[in-house]
Structure 1
Amino acid sequence: MSSKDDYVYTIPDIPWRNHFSNLLFSGDLISTGLELFLVGGLTTIAWFKYYMVNVAGSMPLLELATFMWIFSAQRRIYNSYLESVYFAFPAYRTQPVKEHALKSKKDLVGREPEQLETIIKHDRMTLVSQFFLDVSIYFLIPGYYPAAKETYGPMYYRILMLILNHYVMSFGMYWTHRALHVNPYGWRYIHSFHHWAKHPLSRTTYQDHWFDNFGNAIVGHLFAQILVPLDNQFFWLSRSLRICESLEKHSGVSCGFNIVHSAQRYFPFAQMPHHHDWHHEGHKGCNYTFTSIGGLWDCVFGTRKTGRHPALAETSSDRKMANTEQKTSKNSVLNHPWLCLSPVLMVGALAAVKLKYQLA
Structure 2
Amino acid sequence: MVKKDERQKGAKGQTNLDHIRVAVASVSKDMCRYSWTLPDESLNLRMKDHFSSLLFGGSITNTILELVLLAAPFVAMGMNGQVSTLLNVKGSMTFLELSVFFFVCSTVRRVYNAYLEAVYFSFQNLRTQPPKEHLLKQKKDLMGRDMEQLEILDGHDKWTMISQFLLNFGLYFCLPGYYPSPHEPQSLQERFLRLLLNHYVMSFGMYWAHRSLHEVPFLWEHIHCIHHWAKHPLSRNTYEDHWFDNFFNAIVGHCYAQILVPLDRPTFWFSRIFRILESLEKHSGVSCGFNIAHSMQQWLPFAQMPHHHDWHHEGFKGSNYTFSSIGGLWDCLFGTRKSGRANHSATREDRNGKSNVMQDLPARWFSPLLPLVGLTVLVSIKLHGSF
User: The TM-score by the shorter chain falls in which range?
Assistant: over 0.9
Corresponding residue for residue 8 of structure 2:
none
Higher relative contact order (CA 8 A, sep 6+): 1
For 1:200-349, list aligned pairs within 5 A. 200-284=233-317, 286-311=319-344, 313-321=345-353, 328=360, 332-333=363-364, 339-349=367-377
Q: 1:300 to 1:324 in 2, by over 3 A?
A: closer
Q: How far 1:18 sits from its partner (Å)?
A: 2.6
Residues 1:2 and 2:31 are matched in the alignment:
yes
Q: 1:275 to 1:4 in 2, by over 3 A?
A: closer
Q: Measure the CA separation in 1 of the matches of 2:49 and 2:223.
A: 34
Corresponding residue for residue 9 of structure 2:
none
Corresponding residue for residue 379 of structure 2:
351
Asked whether the 8 Å contact 1:26–1:123 carries over to 2, the reply is no
For 1:96-107, list aligned pairs within 5 A. 96-107=130-141
1:162 to 190, 195, 201: 195
Q: Measure the CA separation in 2 of the matches of 1:292 and 1:325.
A: 18
Quote the sequence identity (%): 54
Q: Measure the CA separation in 1 of the matches of 2:354 and 2:194.
A: 31
Asked whether the 8 Å contact 1:93–1:252 carries over to 2, the reply is yes
Q: 1:344 to 1:3 in 2, by over 3 A?
A: closer
The superposition leaves residues 53-99 of structure 1 with CA deviations (integer Å, 9 ceiling, x where unpaired) of 10000001111110111110000000000010011111110000121
2:220 to 187, 192, 200: 187
The superposition leaves residues 83-132 of structure 1 with CA deviations (integer Å, 9 ceiling, x where unpaired) of 10011111110000121123111001111111111111100000000001
2:229 to 167, 190, 196: 196
Q: Measure the CA separation in 1 of the matches of 2:114 and 2:32.
A: 18
Q: How far 1:309 sits from its partner (Å)?
A: 2.5
Asked whether the 8 Å contact 1:178–1:340 carries over to 2, the reply is yes
Q: How far 1:322 sits from its partner (Å)?
A: 5.4
Asked whether the 8 Å contact 2:342–2:350 carries over to 1, the reply is no
Corresponding residue for residue 68 of structure 2:
37
Q: 1:201 to 1:285 in 2, by over 3 A?
A: closer
Q: Measure the CA separation in 2 of the matches of 1:276 and 1:61.
A: 36
Which stretch of structure 1 is more off in the superposition, 20-29 or 271-280?
A: 20-29
Which stretch of structure 1 is more off in the superposition, 29-38 or 172-181?
A: 29-38
- Uncovered stretches (5+) of structure 1, i.e. residues with no partner: none
Letter of the 1:345 counterpart: V
Corresponding residue for residue 115 of structure 2:
81
Name which one, 1 or 2, has greater alpha-carbon Rg. Answer: 2
TM-score by length of 1: 0.93
Q: How far 1:328 sits from its partner (Å)?
A: 3.4
Q: Measure the CA separation in 2 of the matches of 1:279 and 1:148.
A: 40
Which stretch of structure 1 is more off in the superposition, 101-110 or 295-304?
A: 101-110
1:6 is paired with a residue whose SS is coil
Asked whether the 8 Å contact 2:93–2:182 carries over to 1, the reply is yes
Residues 1:131 and 2:160 are matched in the alignment:
no
Which stretch of structure 1 is more off in the superposition, 297-306 or 40-49?
A: 40-49
For 1:15-26, list aligned pairs within 5 A. 15=45, 16-23=47-54, 26=57
Letter of the 1:42 counterpart: P
Q: How far 1:314 sits from its partner (Å)?
A: 1.3
Length, aligned pairs only: 352
- Superposition RMSD on alpha carbons, in Å? 2.0
Asked whether the 8 Å contact 1:146–1:231 carries over to 2, the reply is yes
Corresponding residue for residue 144 of structure 1:
178
Q: Measure the CA separation in 2 of the matches of 1:325 and 1:147.
A: 40
The superposition leaves residues 289-319 of structure 1 with CA deviations (integer Å, 9 ceiling, x where unpaired) of 00011100000000000111231x1111211
Q: How far 1:324 sits from its partner (Å)?
A: 6.8
TM-score by length of 2: 0.86
Q: 1:265 to 1:104 in 2, by over 3 A?
A: same
Asked whether the 8 Å contact 1:254–1:273 carries over to 2, the reply is yes
Q: Measure the CA separation in 1 of the matches of 2:33 and 2:182.
A: 48
